[in-house]
Amino acid sequence: MIHRLLLIYLSVPLVWADQQPIVSAIEFKGHLITKDFIIEREIQHPIDVPLDSAVAREDRDRLYNLGIFADVTWRAIPLEDLTVILEYKVIETSLRILPAGGPAYEEEYGWSFGGMLRINNFRGRNEKFTLGGSTGARRAYFLSFKNPWIMGDHVSLDVMTGKSITAHPFLPYERNVTTAEINLGRYFGYNHKARVGFEWKKKTFSNDEDTLEYYYIAPQGIYIYDTRDIYRDPSKGILIVQGFYSHVELDSEKRNLWWSQSYSFYHSLVKSERKLTAAFNVS
């Protein structure tokens, strides 16, 4: 058996010198929480074709850019039939459950104490779930759920809901604001992303004698063109952001529309291990 393995490892370099070996299988390991399909859908190297190291590196970068792995590596494992197994090894980040809390002071309202709990890679599906709240001058809570690829071809879903209760800073009213927001997005390739959705909000002003209620809906959308490699090398590239936010009051004729634009350019001035990057922005 030892002689067989030795023959394989001696023969493979000779075959590779002439042509790349055939990838007969793709495997991945190292994940404990992440579901298999989250990794599988990022791997684009096909099987039964010659090993392409450039595609393998792109697969590695895509897995790393998910933001749920501390490290991703790949290797080719030679087999007796002179084919190889393309193996990806991932190490899940330890920063998965992030609690935070502390006091906060707002000049209009006073002191509050708030807390937040965020779970990254929620359910092992690369989702983010956030729960937060506060007490004191601002009594509030919010829930947030984000899935960057919930269905189809890179279709994302962002959902948020919450409530905030404060005393009105000038009038003898208690202000109660309830909010719900939903957005759907989609990647077009790896540089283009669009997202559309709306926010619904209810504002109530009340005291012992009177209650006033206002409702509005806010359609919104954004387009992003980003050529940077955010996680591995964000020191060069272009970032263009175009967005709109509208405000439609449901109990009046008021309509508002805001359009925002941002153009950013990044260039690495010092290309060493510790890079010095220059950024220029026009908004």
pLDDT digits (tens, 9 = 90+) for 97-145: 999 999 999 999 999 999 999 999 999 999 999 999 999 999 999 999 9
Please report, for the chain, the start and end positions of each structural domain, with discontinuous segments joined by +.
2-92, 97-282
Res 1 pLDDT > 70: no
Q: Which residue has the higher pLDDT, 168 or 4?
A: 168
Confidence (pLDDT) at 232: 66
What is the Cα–Cα distance from 210 to 70, expressed in whole angstroms? Answer: 55
Report residue 235's pLDDT band, with 50, 70 and 90 as the boundaries: confident
Residue 12: what pLDDT? 47
Q: What are phi and psi of 16, to 5 degrees?
A: -65, -30
- Judge whether residue 85 has pLDDT over 90: yes
Q: For residues 121 and 85, what is the distance between their CA atoms, to the nearest angstrom?
A: 27
- Out of 3.10.20.310, 3.40.190.10, 3.40.50.970, 1.10.3720.10, the CATH code matching 2-92 is 3.10.20.310
Fold assignment, 97-282: Porin (2.40.160)
Least confident of 90-99, 149-158, 266-275: 266-275
Q: Average pLDDT for residues 272-277, to the nearest whole number?
A: 74
pLDDT band at residue 277 under the 50/70/90 scheme? confident
